Amino acid sequence: MTNLPKFKTIFFHPRYWLTWLGILTLWCIVLLPYNFLYRIGHMLGKISMYFFTKRVNIARKNLNLCMPSMTDKEREIMLKRNFESVGMGIIETSMAWFWPDWRIKKWFTITGYENIKKVHQSDRGILLIGIHFLTLELGARILGLLNPGIGVYRPNNNKLIDWFQTKGRLRSNKKMINRYDLKGMIRALKQKEIIWYAPDHDYGAQNSVFVPFFGVSDTATTAGSYILIKSTHPAVISFIPKRKSHGKGYELIILPDFSNELVIIKNKEIMITKINKFIENAVMKAPEQYMWLHRRFKTRPPGYPSIY
């Protein structure tokens, strides 16, 4: 597990100057009132579509695959709204890292916290299924203020960003744990901790199973969820940090424990398919706020054509 790493003098090396400029710019921006941040985030998202055309095409392809019932026009509207959300995600990540607790709480309403309280009464660990909404960092911050847990993460390649990222996440959580440290996660769940775990990205073929996701058959999905559930029998809860429209703030929706539906399943593929279906249902509560620009279907079974 990771505590806050030491701040290193190497971070003042010229190679990090652009990173410093970006971080300080964001720190200054998030001092502004939220209604300004809301407008800035949407503007950033709209502008980004002209510069990150590769990501726009990935998101468009994902929407075509996952939203077949929509018309082309509806998907293009969703795509534009999604990139507005991408811009807001940048602002919201900075809010999560730099805002004081009182300001975070001011903009959140919370629904379903009793679902976590029930689990605490049963003295079990919680596998918190994180979903890659673009509001994720902010949602994890407010949830940590309610109930500090342990975050699962991938260290950033940029050591300075990794320092700020870890520092920001530890403002309201206990520790961070590398996503490859499965033994550490099992140990923490057996100690009745909350482990925040996001199984909805493509982590490659190793330790994955190929199951449906949004109707796309043979989607590479980590089998880590199955191992954690079978090893420790935790409660399994998810949350949706939903951004309200028109700059009215956020609603943290904590969903009920659905571990009873999973522990009875012995087959790995069937369990992971059920978890994917659960994630799909959660995504559809705010689909324009999901991270569609991720290459979710990058890893294909041997012999399958590339999607991207």
> pLDDT digits over 166-218, tens only?
999 998 888 889 888 889 999 999 999 999 999 999 999 988 999 999 989 99
Q: What is the mean pLDDT of residues 19-46?
A: 97
Domain boundaries, the chain: 14-289
pLDDT attached to residue 2? 59
Residue 100 has pLDDT above 80, yes or no: yes
pTM of the full structure: 0.93
> pLDDT digits over 214-235, tens only?
989 999 999 999 999 999 999 9
Residue 253 has pLDDT above 60, yes or no: yes
Q: What is the mean pLDDT of residues 145-159?
A: 89
Residue 150 has pLDDT above 60, yes or no: yes
Q: What is the mean pLDDT of residues 251-280?
A: 95
Residue 1 has pLDDT above 60, yes or no: no
Strands 175-178 and 150-153, sheet pairing: parallel
> pLDDT digits over 57-89, tens only?
999 999 999 999 999 999 999 999 999 999 999
Q: Which of 48-57, 181-190, 271-280, 286-295 has the lowest mean pLDDT?
A: 181-190
